[in-house]
Chains A and B, each alone.
Chain A
Amino acid sequence: MVRVSIPPTLRKLCGGEDTVTVRPGTVGDAIAQLHDRYNGIRDRLCDGGGRLRGSVLVFVNDEDIRFLGEQATPLKPGDEVSIIPAFAGG
């Protein structure tokens, strides 16, 4: 399975969980699985066209998916995904 860290902003929607697991596939598949389980999550993360919002960063094993394959980035068993608000730092 793949572990996904949920940011505090989304925990209310995820029953208070700070980590959830999803099946391997791609980042896009993981978002779809989360959306099936916790209705509304896709709208928080993505804009109307299904693209990740500029305000959301997704990392797979500590690498920003914009340096990998965006939502097509593959997820293998044991991978770790982090969802982070972009508006921090500096």
Chain B
Amino acid sequence: MSQSNGYMKALKCRECGREYPLAATHVCEFDFGPLEVAYDYDRIKKSLTRDVICTRPQTMWRYRELLPVAGEPTVGRQVGYTPLVKADRLAKRLGIRELWIKNDAVNFPTLSFKDRVVSVALSRSVELGFKTVACASTGNLANSVAANAAAAGLDSYVFIPSDLEIGKVVNSLVYGAHVIGIKGHYDEVNRLCAEIAGKYGWAFVNVNMRPYYAEGSKSMGYEIIEQLGWRIPEHTVVPMASGSLLTKVHKAYQEFIKVGLVGETKWKMHGAQATGCSPISTAQKAGLDFFKPVKPNTIAKSLAIGTPADGFYSLKVMKETGGAADDVTDDEVREGIRLLSECEGIFAETAGGVTVGVAKKLIASGKIAADSSAVLCITGNGLKTIEAMTGHVGATRDIRPSLREFEALLAQDKPELVTA
């Protein structure tokens, strides 16, 4: 094998196993199966030890042998290693012994887990010689491509549904990206991008660069294991849009076992969706291994993918690990956001509300046992979807700068504090 490809061996079709060169291509010519990066795990096992990892900076790149770049990463070198927060107050509210929040709401630089996949996709795009990068996005990915492309001096085109939250729109425009709003839902944006990818010689991070891009999500799983003290959690709850993150966190757990960083153990992967866009959870609950596409209608816009690319594979992972899926209504999404905020001081975007809401249901139903340990993957920041909570969290009470007015107000809250 060539040293110049780092620890990557080839792109390999997940369906038929045919191999392809490590280029910007994402599907098999024979059966349209997805291509995945194949690694030289024997070599990785020799060079990637706990000691080596611990000497490296606290970023996602401390596991770089398991990420698909040939040389040193050039884009997003500070991404990752977000806090894993022990959530005792939320654990008590949900009725579980041990609960952790993997908090990618504070990922660098654009406050979502997408910085992980983008830093891999753009580092690899630079290696392959691309000057323009692009994506189809529900918002977070657009933000991350726009920001990381700007920092790397790359031109970027980001395609989003035109009705996205204003925070996500401004957070793409500010970096000077070309932002194209498509009058339609994400699946239509995605179809357009599939048709134009390749036509202009651009690196579409989640189309022709998808085999590399998707691997970036594994870093969330590696970090969870390391931050838990080199332990794989019994339960992991992951929000599902395309379903890719769930499959990649699972793959991260498998790989750490494969390269000897942790011992064999069992774990369950659980998937969370919004009821208004629940093709995967609906199939899982019905015991099916295929899903029926839907037209999304939910406030969890970052999860609003009606034709999830990895729906089939995420169903497979949940089945193999004995995990479950469920979905929550818009009101339950808001309740999930409030629970996480009020118990742990973490303001997540709507996808986080979905994850907390579904975790609550899975614990209540016993699918996640009360006497177990679970990690919830929080993937984005609440400040980006402020509209979802506006009008649902009360309002400020405005007074003049007068002690008398303040005491009148306080007397309503805590009469015992205010003397007549």
Contact = CB atoms under 8 A, between A and B. Distances in A.
Contacts of A62: 188, 191
B27 A9 contact: yes
A17 to B, nearest CB: 14
Nearest to A56: B32
A89 B136 contact: yes
Nearest to B29: A9
Interface in B41-77: none
Interface stretch (B148-156, B230-238, B304-312, B409-417): B304-312
Nearest to B138: A90
A88 B207 contact: yes
A68 to B, nearest CB: 12
Given A55-B15, A64-B293, A88 B210 contact: yes
B336 interface: no
Interface string B7-21: 000000001000000
A89 B32 contact: no
A56 to B, nearest CB: 5
B109 interface: no
Contacts of A45: 32
A84 B34 contact: no
B107 interface: no
B195 A82 contact: yes
B32 A53 contact: yes
A53 B290 CA distance: 12
Nearest to B32: A55
B191 A59 contact: yes
B308 to A, nearest CB: 7
Given A9-B27, A89-B206, A90-B243, A82 B191 contact: yes
A25 to B, nearest CB: 23
Given A55-B15, A55-B33, A62-B188, A89 B305 contact: yes
Given A57-B307, A66-B293, A87 B26 contact: yes
Interface string B183-203: 000111011011101100000
Interface residues on B, range: 35 or more
Contact of B31 (A8, A53, A57, A67): A53
Contacts of B34: 55, 87
Nearest to A18: B199
A54, A56, A64, A88 interface centre (most CB from chain B within 10 Å): A88
Contacts of B243: 90
Interface string A45-65: 100000001111101001010
A55 B27 contact: yes
Interface in B177-228: 186-188, 190-191, 193-195, 197-198, 206-207, 210
A2 B130 CA distance: 35
A52 to B, nearest CB: 10
B309 A87 contact: yes
7 tightest Cβ-Cβ pairs between the two chains A and B: A90-B242, A55-B32, A87-B34, A89-B190, A85-B27, A84-B194, A88-B207
Interface of A: 5, 7-10, 12, 44-45, 53-57, 59, 62, 64, 66-67, 82, 84-90
Given A84-B195, A87-B210, 13 more contacts: A9-B28, A54-B290, A59-B191, A64-B187, A66-B292, A85-B32, A86-B32, A86-B307, A87-B26, A88-B136, A89-B207, A89-B309, A90-B244
22 contacts: A9-B28, A12-B29, A53-B31, A54-B312, A55-B15, A55-B31, A57-B307, A64-B293, A67-B295, A84-B191, A84-B194, A86-B32, A87-B33, A87-B309, A88-B26, A88-B136, A88-B206, A89-B187, A89-B207, A89-B242, A90-B190, A90-B242
